[in-house]
Amino acid sequence: MGVINTERWLCYYLKYWHEKKDKKQKLDWQRQILIQPLEKRFSMKVEEIHSYFMDLGLPKPDLQVDDLVTQFIENKILESTETYYQRLLKEWNGPDVPIYIFPLISSNQKKHVDENKMGVSFSDFICLFIEPLIDERGIQSLMTHEYHHVCRLALTNETEEKITLLESIVMEGLAEAAVKEEVGTEHVANWMTRYNEEFCRGWFERLIQPNLLMQGRKSYHELLFGDRTKQIPEMIGYAVGYYLIQSVVKKEKIKTKELLKLSSNTLYELSGW
């Protein structure tokens, strides 16, 4: 599997994009070429997948992206990602999954968590959205984080409907521990370290700890991502997960490959939180 040749999709998309006369035609064209090939991988309608992808940074259908796609191809985004993916695949002995990569326009993103890259991972595939001028370390940090999720899901068999809040924060903390180990501390996502540990412990005790066994991501969305209307700090669940796992790493001196195998309950106990 590995990186799918989405460059071919993008070139074909551009070849006929200029012939589309209005927004409706351009919308339909983008869905046909860039979204429909992925339809079977999602339990959503094409329209829903398309909207989701645009929230993640996919350029809007009426936007001319000739230069963006040219940069994307010239900077060898697919090749760089594939090379690094093969390294992780061998190192972690994880599942071999398809990876779909698209150019990103940060102004499209609903959540400006990281304005030059975004990813979503599932048990059997990964989608990445990458700004063409990103450096190689940026690609590596994104790929490390997302592929780590794939490896973790392969071991836990969790689903969106059943996964607990504890496992969710552990997954995020483990993924960024892997980034720190594989790529370097300076490439850990900014949302992991925007708060200090003391701040995160306070919110953990107040809001997250009482709900650790809550199931289903939708039910605890605000505990992961925050909620300004309720004055819950942005990305607080992610930051808590990062510091929790760092506590385990410091105490036990355990590497990523070994951490992957430990249950969320075991990691929680080892953390001392």
Per-domain residue ranges of the chain: 2-155, 161-271
pLDDT of residue 126: 99
214 φψ region: left (φ > 0), alpha (ψ -120 to 50), beta (else)? beta
> Contact, 152 vs 260, CB < 8 A?
yes
Q: Which of 120, 137, 179 is nearest to 129 (CA)?
A: 120
Per-residue pLDDT of the chain (273 residues; tens, 9 = 90+): 999 999 999 999 999 999 999 999 999 999 999 999 999 999 999 999 999 999 999 999 999 999 999 999 999 999 999 999 999 999 999 999 999 999 998 765 555 456 789 999 999 999 999 999 999 999 999 999 999 999 999 999 999 999 999 999 999 999 999 999 999 999 999 888 889 999 999 999 999 999 999 999 999 999 999 999 999 999 999 999 999 999 999 999 999 999 999 999 999 999 999
Maximum alpha-carbon separation in the chain: 62
pLDDT of residue 192: 82
Model pTM? 0.94
pLDDT of residue 108: 52
Q: Give Cα separations from 95 to 11, 145, 146, 153, 163 (angstroms).
A: 29, 15, 12, 10, 20
DSSP state of 133: T
Q: What number of other Cβ atoms are within 10 A of residue 55's Cβ?
A: 14
